[in-house]
Amino acid sequence: MDLKLKGKTALITGASGGIGSAVAEGLAAEGVHTCLNYNSNDKEVRRLQDLFRKKGLKSEIFKADISSNDDVQNMVDFAIEKLGHIDILINNAGISYHKKFLDMEMNDWDKVMDINLKSCFIASQLVARHMAKRGVGGKIVNNSSMVEGVARPNLTTYCVSKGGLGALARSLAVELAPYNIQVNNVNPGIIETKILGDKLENEPGFKQHLIDFIPMGRLGTAEECADLFVFLASQRSNYITGASYYIDGGVTISQL
Ligand SMILES: NC(=O)c1ccc[n+]([C@@H]2O[C@H](COP(=O)([O-])OP(=O)(O)OC[C@H]3O[C@@H](n4cnc5c(N)ncnc54)[C@H](O)[C@@H]3O)[C@@H](O)[C@H]2O)c1
């Protein structure tokens, strides 16, 4: 099936590993020109940029801490200048944050909200203004989480930030529908990336402990998530908006 993505342009946050770089690879495989955001380590985005340019695609990289409003503004301006316009925004960057609610301080709240939620609000607003002005529509796809609609212990700020992304996607979907801009969320379950922390490699039994919760009996991969992002960024999902799609091997529906 032709996803009709060839020649489109995408800005992807947190493209320096995990699900973000898999999404970048998935979009580039469909002929999409990319602007790849990273924050600290440029090795992976440089690898991707080389790969994509060798395929004849435009590919730019931009260092930005997405918790900074100015950085987000500069990132969006850069992407528009270098790619000419933005058809697709992938709000992927995020952090996990484990702490007991009773021990939390306001800094904990601010940090997670700034990175996981506020950045998506600002980037979406800047890109949607650009898309609305262009008048040819566009796609915004957020990396939310299976916790968008459920609670997990010691993950309060993370759960609130991802719950907020659900509300954000629904609200923007309604307001941006007249501009033919679709806004959707991908809600991954437990995916084998660095966000799961060192315990995955260093603590014997930890991986199996996670797997025990998952009906499909394995962790998910970044590439499997990327396929869903690519579909939601494509012209094959044009009547889908304000939706949150769970990709979790059945874990969310199976919790008692
Ligand atoms: N892996 C999972 O199990 C899982 C499950 C549900 C949701 N998610 C979501 O997927 C997204 C990607 O995570 P991942 O699993 O690929 O893990 P990851 O740690 O490999 O990727 C996170 C990315 O976000 C970037 N990032 C973090 N803070 C940033 C900042 N201030 N500015 C710019 N970039 C920043 C990191 O540099 C990295 O590229 C996150 O939003 C996460 O919440 C992951």
The DSSP line for 153-198 is TT-HHHHHHHHHHHHHHHHHHHHHGGGTEEEEEEEE-SB-SGGG-T
Order across the sheet with 181-188: list the strands.
Answer: 59-63, 33-38, 9-12, 88-91, 138-143, 181-188, 244-247
Establish whether residue 191 lines the binding site of ligand 1, counting it when its CB lies within 6 angstroms of any ligand atom: yes
User: What does the alpha-carbon distance between residue 93 and residue 97 come to, in Å, rounded to a whole number?
Assistant: 14
Give me ligand 1 centre to Cα 92, in Å: 6
State which amino acid sits at residue 240: I
What is the rounded average pLDDT for all residues in the chain? 97
Give me ligand 1 centre to Cα 133, in Å: 30
Taking alpha carbons only, the member of 87, 209, 102, 93 closest to residue 139 is 87
Mean pLDDT for the stretch of residues 92-105: 97
**204 pLDDT band (50/70/90 cuts)?**
confident
Q: In terms of pTM, does the model score above 0.85?
A: yes
Establish whether residue 18 lines the binding site of ligand 1, counting it when its CB lies within 6 angstroms of any ligand atom: yes
3-state class (DSSP) for residue 37: strand
Q: Is 158 a catalytic residue?
A: yes
- Given the structure tokens 């759960």, which residue do they identify? 159
Mean pLDDT for the stretch of residues 48-63: 98
Asked whether residue 7 carries a pLDDT value surpassing 90, the answer given is yes
Asked whether residue 191 carries a pLDDT value surpassing 70, the answer given is yes
Establish whether residue 95 lines the binding site of ligand 1, counting it when its CB lies within 6 angstroms of any ligand atom: yes
Bridge partners, 140 (sequence order): 89, 183
pLDDT attached to residue 5: 98
- Given the structure tokens 């409003």, which residue do they identify? 69
Asked whether residue 130 carries a pLDDT value surpassing 70, the answer given is yes
Question: Can you say how many angstroms the Cα of residue 172 is from the centroid of all Cα atoms in its chain?
Answer: 16
Q: Which atom of ligand 1 has the smallest separation from the CA of 67?
A: 31
**Ligand 1 probe mutation, 78, 114, 195, most atoms within 8 A of CB:** 195
Fold adopted by 9-195+221-254: Rossmann fold (3.40.50)
Give me ligand 1 centre to Cα 13, in Å: 9
Asked whether residue 194 carries a pLDDT value surpassing 90, the answer given is yes
Give me ligand 1 centre to Cα 193, in Å: 8
Asked whether residue 201 carries a pLDDT value surpassing 90, the answer given is no
Q: Which atom of ligand 1 has the smallest separation from the CA of 16?
A: 39
Mean pLDDT for the stretch of residues 210-223: 96
Asked whether residue 172 carries a pLDDT value surpassing 70, the answer given is yes
**52 pLDDT band (50/70/90 cuts)?**
very high
**256 pLDDT band (50/70/90 cuts)?**
low
